A and B are shown apart, each in its own frame.
Chain A
Amino acid sequence: MRHRLRFFLRKLLRMILLLLGVSAITFALMCASPLDPLQTNVGQVALGSMSQEQVEKLEAYWGVNTPPAERYMGWLSGVARGDFGMSLLYRQPVLTIIGQRLGNSVWVLGFAWLFSGALGLLLGVLAGVYRGRLPDRCIRWYCLLISSTPAFWLALLLLLVFSVWLGWLPIGLSVPVGMETSAVSFLDRVRHAVLPALTLSITGVANIAMHTREKMIDVLESDAILFAKARGESGISIILRHGLRNVALPAITLQFASISEIIGGSVLAEQVFSYPGLGQAAVTAGLGSDLPLLLGITVITAAIVFMGNLAADLLYGVVDPRIRRGRAKS
């Protein structure tokens, strides 16, 4: 029990340090940004027609004249009290906006995460089993092609094919334009989420498939597989009983590590599809100098990624008998 407690305290400390670091870097980058918040958000012309008093008020609102260190400490002390501040662009609490946006994104991210994980595992195992033969060559070719394709370009391509040419799916946004929220059906939401999710899935598959393939080849060349063959186990039984079992552990690590890539990819994909998710909010906040919102989004996503890795660690302990039994003994 004390062992567990120490484990969690250590992880918690590590997470706090990580989030501090991430927020500090984000803050520093924003301060170094050449964008002037007043010019980008109010506009050159509007600014010119304002009185000195009005301009000063705006400067105070965007925090232009406050020293950076003071602003950061102010933000930190707010966060320590659970207050992430108000978004400057949306004039709403940061947490409310993140909650809304995350609610939109979670389906896209979740689908892409599960789908790319499952398909990546399947393709990786197939490629490993058929190493050097046609299925392997096709899968490797696909992965190479996808890894060298920018996500936003793929997003544009999908948009062109499915929305513009075929007209099967909507061009953007998360709900039909001009429809009352109450009238939006579940199907409408799904139709709008398909393309962003597909983009993220297609790009996510390549990495997982290639790693799984390497691992599968290692496993199939292992002594254990040789002995299984020598004992007359059939090819299918070898792949399902021994191959998958041994590929499963690294697959867990890969799957949870891919969360960060999916979230990273969502920034571009949501932008292309004007999908009002977390990724798009991050872009808006960054370009609009909305410091509290951007800091909030970075910290929350970093925490999600950290939790993902923690989950992988914990799952490993449950799944791997060498850790599970080894721990029970000590």
Chain B
Amino acid sequence: MEPILQIQHVSIDFTQYESRKGTSRRCLQVIRDLSLTLYPGQVMAVVGASGSGKSLLAHGILHILPYNSHMRGEILYNGEPLTKERAKRLRGREIVLIPQGVTYLDPLMKVGAQIRKGRRDEASRRMSREALGRYGLSPDTEDLYPFELSGGMARRVLIAAATVEKPRFVIADEPTPGLDTVSAGRILAHLREIADAGAGVLLITHDLELALRIADRVAVFYAGETIEDAAASDFADPSLLRHPFTKALWHAMPGHGFRTIAGAQPYPGTAERGCPFVSSCVDCVDKCREAEEIAPRYVRGGWVRCLRVQQDTTEAGTENGDLGEGMEE
């Protein structure tokens, strides 16, 4: 099957002006050499701590990054480059974003008008009522302002707004924080349904446990890099996992001992060389500190950036080899 989305060696950086001097510019790399592949019908979770650049990845795919940022690398959608013009054409129709919270709605516009993007014809009205109905919201919801929605309702309105026109690729950026378990479960089930209907879903979250409930694959973000790309089933047993950080994440899950991870995640772009996890790693050696670049290695059907893990020479490039296509230098 052809992948719906391929992200190849994408980096995003910011130009910041030092406030004191005004003239000196600083370049801050938030996402570094990121590669992902997503297939139709699949939910891929991107798991990372807050501030690790997950939202920027979503905005980068849609070409809606802030004006002081710059993206390099290549993104292919249905096998063709997703240029700014193409993204402009597709977003809101084939490629949609489910944002994080009610602040993403215009506070002064009624829900209905926002969902319909200002259109007033009968067909648009019907589609908007259908979209609301799919997520258990009554047609009266159209007449409410965002401040009149409860947390759970707002989240469902956002999903409805994103999926009015049948999307083929959905990016859900932290769709559940602040919701109770039942509402969060319902939102996740909706995302799974969207994938089962044939769309690709990129689920962005900081909550691994939640991601594992619906994901097929999990990409783990650390300091702006994907340090591991694993099948969700690998999380059944920590010995199937590849990177020391992913293992630490597994042990930090409520059901697995709740062990905290020592040390703080470095601010994206601060690590000049070596592995960003060295300061917290139980298994690191000198070369982890000194390596210019740690290329992803293909191991047991997944990808990992760790010098301590042996690459399977036999399996690379076969079967699932195109998952991280273009990752080898």
Contacts and interface: CB of A to CB of B under 8 A. Distances in A.
Contacts of A232: 88, 90-93, 117
Contacts of B158: 227
B64 A231 contact: no
Contacts of A231: 91-92, 96-97, 117, 161-162
Interface string B73-111: 000000000000000101111001101110111111100
Given A230-B99, A231-B91, A231-B96, A245 B104 contact: no
Given A231-B162, A233-B117, A237-B118, A245 B64 contact: no
A221 B62 CA distance: 16
A65 B103 CA distance: 67
Contact of A325 (B96, B100, B105, B145): B145
B227 to A, nearest CB: 27
B80 to A, nearest CB: 18
B120 to A, nearest CB: 13
Contact of B117 (A132, A224, A237, A245): A237
Given A222-B103, A224-B106, 6 more contacts: A224-B104, A227-B158, A230-B64, A230-B99, A320-B108, A325-B148
Interface residues of B, number: 30
A325 B145 CA distance: 9
A132 B101 CA distance: 30
B64 A242 contact: no
Rank and list the top 6 A-B pairs by shortest CB-CB distance, nearest first: A232-B92, A231-B92, A227-B104, A230-B97, A223-B103, A224-B106
A241 B118 contact: yes
B147 interface: yes
Nearest to B162: A231
15 contacts: A221-B66, A222-B103, A223-B103, A226-B64, A226-B104, A227-B158, A227-B161, A229-B62, A230-B59, A230-B64, A230-B96, A241-B109, A242-B106, A242-B109, A320-B108
A245 B162 contact: no
Interface in B99-136: 99-101, 103-109, 117-118
A326 B147 CA distance: 9
B104 A223 contact: yes
Interface string A274-295: 0000000000000000000000
Contacts of B105: 224, 227
B323 to A, nearest CB: 27
A223 to B, nearest CB: 4
A177 B208 CA distance: 85
A137 interface: no
Interface of B: 59, 62, 64, 66-67, 88, 90-93, 96-97, 99-101, 103-109, 117-118, 145, 147-148, 158, 161-162
A16 interface: no
A246 B161 contact: no
A289 to B, nearest CB: 52
Interface string A117-148: 00000000000000010000000000000000
A228 B103 CA distance: 12
A192 B81 CA distance: 64
A328 to B, nearest CB: 11
A48 interface: no
A38 to B, nearest CB: 59
Contacts of A241: 109, 118
B179 to A, nearest CB: 18
Which of B90, B147, B158 gathers most chain A CB within 10 Å?
Answer: B147
Interface string A49-74: 00000000000000000000000000
Nearest to B105: A224
A216 to B, nearest CB: 14
A223 B92 contact: no
A321 interface: yes
A222 B158 CA distance: 16
A142 B92 CA distance: 39
B49 to A, nearest CB: 21
Nearest to A232: B92
Contacts of A132: 67
Nearest to B93: A232
Contacts of A229: 62, 64, 91
Nearest to B103: A223
B145 A228 contact: no
A233 B109 contact: no
B145 A245 contact: no
A110 B131 CA distance: 49
A230 B62 contact: yes
Contact of A224 (B96, B103, B118, B145): B103
A11 interface: no
Contacts of B67: 132
A108 to B, nearest CB: 34
B107 A322 contact: yes
Nearest to B164: A231
A213 to B, nearest CB: 16
Contacts of B97: 227, 230-231
B96 to A, nearest CB: 7
Interface in A190-229: 221-224, 226-229
Contacts of B64: 226, 229-230
Contacts of A242: 106, 109
A132 B68 CA distance: 11
Contacts of B66: 221
Nearest to B90: A232
A245 B105 CA distance: 13
A137 B92 CA distance: 33
Contacts of A223: 99-101, 103-104
Contacts of B109: 241-242, 245
A223 B58 CA distance: 13
Contact of B147 (A222, A233, A322): A322
A178 B117 CA distance: 62
Contacts of B90: 232
Nearest to A240: B118
A65 B219 CA distance: 91
